[in-house]
Amino acid sequence: MVSFDTVKGLAIFFAPIIIPRAISFYRSFRTSLRQRPPPVPLSTYATRATNILFFAAFTFLMLSLPLNGYPQPNIFQLTSSRFTTPTELLFSRLARLRPQGTLTDDDLLLKVKFGSPAARRLYLRFGSDPLLSCTYCSNDSPQSFILYYLPFHTLLPHLIHLLLLGLSTSAPLVGRQTSKWRNKFLVAAIAFSILDISIISTYDSLTGKSATMHDRTSTPRSLHNTGVTTRFLALSIFDAVCAGLIYLSDTNRLFYTPPSTAEQAEQLVNAAGTALASATSKLHALSVTRNAVVRDKALRARDDAYWRTVVAMEGFPTDSSSSGGGSIWEEEEVVRAMTRAMNNSQGGKGGVDVVKLGADANGYVDGVTAGLELADNGAK
């Protein structure tokens, strides 16, 4: 066991390095929490990613359960037998648990293989499939069993997991904001697969110093069965954590990073393009409406009458009346009404607020003509 002096020496050596970094990380984390924007709903792109990850997590969780006889139960635990139990006694106990008290063909073939302790150790490490199906494996060469076991029992689940992670962090499918987790998730998944492969390749609980009297006299556990359950359960938790990280970052609850200069420029370009498309559609609708008015006699007559009335109100001469007369704004009643309105607004007794009216008019004009300067400069 590790002594207290060893722990104390390691703490004294690493504390000056770890403690300042931990304090800096804590401060930056608090700063990011204070400066983060208000939470937003989960985007459509991030929803796709979380759906894929939750589907993967649910699938791996179901595979971790001993459903449909996979993995097959460890016959030592199934029969409550020790590692050194004689083969005949072990399989006679197993026969009582089988339907109709008869061993299956696989049981009979496995019984022949169980003649040596090496075969039993290989069974506990890799399960019954390599012992029954591998044609080039030898009890004297555990490496041959590793070569047979790893591709389909260990590598295949991790490759499927990497494929699902790559799909859930693909920029065309889930957007650029979610795809920023791609490298982190894939590196963590690859590290987990390397750890799993190293454990399967090197760990043997019944060899060397681990082969204690307790291991020999108690019911041994199967590394294959434990590995299958633990592997799929760990993959399920891994995908659930990845989905949670995507949710927290996409809703600005954690891990918020302000957009870069390139992203801000792209947002401005997208906004300008949207505004230009909206203005173009409005101008097109105005052109269609104008064409419809001009082509219809009744609408054209009403339009001409309207503009003749406007010209007459402004006091300009029309084609039908060259004398023109005075403007409607110059009539005595109109002048008196405007004078009363102006006096009331200046005296604070109600009426028209000229300042507010001018501000509203300026705002209306600015809203209508917004973006026309940019369009004019682009045209030039």
Higher pLDDT, 360 or 134: 134
Q: How far apart are CA 335 and CA 343, in angstroms?
A: 12
pTM of the model: 0.64
Question: What per-residue confidence (pLDDT) applies to 212?
Answer: 47
Q: Encode pLDDT of 36-64 as tens digits.
A: 677 888 899 999 999 999 999 999 999 98
Q: Which residues pair with 141 in a beta bridge?
A: 138
Mean pLDDT of all residues in 194-208: 80
User: DSSP 3-state assignment of 255?
Assistant: coil
Which long-range contacts link 127-136 to residues 24+ away (Cβ below 8 Å)?
127/71, 127/72, 127/153, 127/222, 127/224, 127/225, 128/72, 129/153, 132/106
Q: In this structure, are residues 219 and 82 in contact, taking their beta carbons and an 8 Å threshold?
A: yes
Question: What per-residue confidence (pLDDT) applies to 347?
Answer: 57
Question: What per-residue confidence (pLDDT) applies to 44?
Answer: 92
Query: Does residue 209 have a pLDDT over 70?
Result: no
Q: In this structure, are residues 122 and 142 in contact, taking their beta carbons and an 8 Å threshold?
A: yes
Q: Encode pLDDT of 253-304 as tens digits.
A: 777 666 677 877 888 888 888 888 888 888 888 888 888 888 888 888 888 8
